[in-house]
Amino acid sequence: MIQINIDKYSYKNKIPVIKNLNISLLEGQITTLIGASGCGKSTFLRVLMGMETGAVGHILHNNNSYNFKEWSSKQTLFSMVPQTPLLFPWKNILENIKLAITKKKEISENKNKNEIAINALKIVQMHEHALKYPDEISLGMAQRVSFARALVLDTKAILLDEPFASLDAHTRRLLQDWLRIKIKETGKYAILVTHDVREALLLSNEINVLQGSPAEVYRKFHSDEILSADKNLEDDILLILGKKI
């Protein structure tokens, strides 16, 4: 289990964006954050990635406790799949993946980067397109490459920041099903940030509905509630959100 507790986070303007946000992650499961625009979801992911510093709180994993001091240089638990696949257009798919490996300090120089990259592309069924360039593949394929890039970093957890937002409805549905299976298969921990209540219900093992400013978890829905067919959770969640998403 990974237990995340952020007691407080503010940007330089000192206005608190996150307060008492406590989230537990389980292996092979997707934990979702849903909340109104601007409530602090992306900030939460950026703090975990070490892209924003100065948060107060800690992370528990394997009986180790980490605080956020110097987290940006230490963190190796999380990698992120952004909303739009940010691939270098002048590099082919394989080179794009290998670049991510270069940036990872923990992978020793003598490991074969080609092999690591091809293995990650196999997981996302993109190895046959390894030599293509980003403008030769569809957006859905590019988002799978983006996922492979997160996989080569070999982190315990993957942070998914609205990863389907830029896709058409059909591709989105295919990739949603695919992602749920891959997270389970690879045994990764995953946090999904979404605005889409149906997507949250389709993919999540746990849904955290955020509210307020600074954002706090207003309600948690666990897998038994998410799976139970007799409750109209979609309406319940929309009601909590005040349809503000």
Ligand X SMILES: Nc1ncnc2c1ncn2[C@@H]1O[C@H](COP(=O)(O)OP(=O)(O)OP(=O)(O)O)[C@@H](O)[C@H]1O
In the complex, minimum distance from the CB of residue 158 to ligand X, in angstroms, rounded to a whole number: 17
Residues 183-201: b if buried by 16+ CB within 10 A, e if exposed: beeeebbbbbbbbbbebbb
By CB under 6 A, is residue 23 in contact with ligand X?
no
Work out which of 38, 54, 187, 212 binds ligand X, going by CB under 6 A.
38
Work out which of 4, 40, 50, 146 binds ligand X, going by CB under 6 A.
40
CB closer to ligand X out of 38 and 187: 38
In the complex, minimum distance from the CB of residue 147 to ligand X, in angstroms, rounded to a whole number: 20
Work out which of 4, 23, 39, 120 binds ligand X, going by CB under 6 A.
39
Work out which of 13, 63, 73, 228 binds ligand X, going by CB under 6 A.
13
Count of residues in the chain: 245
Single-letter amino acid, residue 178: W
3-state secondary structure of 198: helix
In the complex, minimum distance from the CB of residue 107 to ligand X, in angstroms, rounded to a whole number: 30
Binding region for ligand X (CB under 6 A) out of 33-41, 126-134, 183-191, 236-244: 33-41
In the complex, minimum distance from the CB of residue 211 to ligand X, in angstroms, rounded to a whole number: 11
The residue with tokens 């942070």 is 159
Tokens read off for 102: 């270069």
CB closer to ligand X out of 39 and 141: 39
CB closer to ligand X out of 35 and 163: 35
CB closer to ligand X out of 40 and 140: 40
The residue with tokens 């528990």 is 60
By CB under 6 A, is residue 143 in contact with ligand X?
no
Q: What is the 8-class DSSP label of residue 111? A: S
Half-sphere exposure of 239 (CA within 13 A, CB side): 6
Are 146 and 82 a contacting pair, CB within 8 Å? yes
Work out which of 4, 41, 124, 189 binds ligand X, going by CB under 6 A.
41
Residues 131-165: b if buried by 16+ CB within 10 A, e if exposed: eebbeebebbbbbbbbbbbbbbbebbbbbbbbbbe
By CB under 6 A, is residue 37 in contact with ligand X?
yes
Task: Please give the residue ranges that form the binding site for ligand X (CB under 6 A).
Answer: 11, 13, 17, 35, 37-43
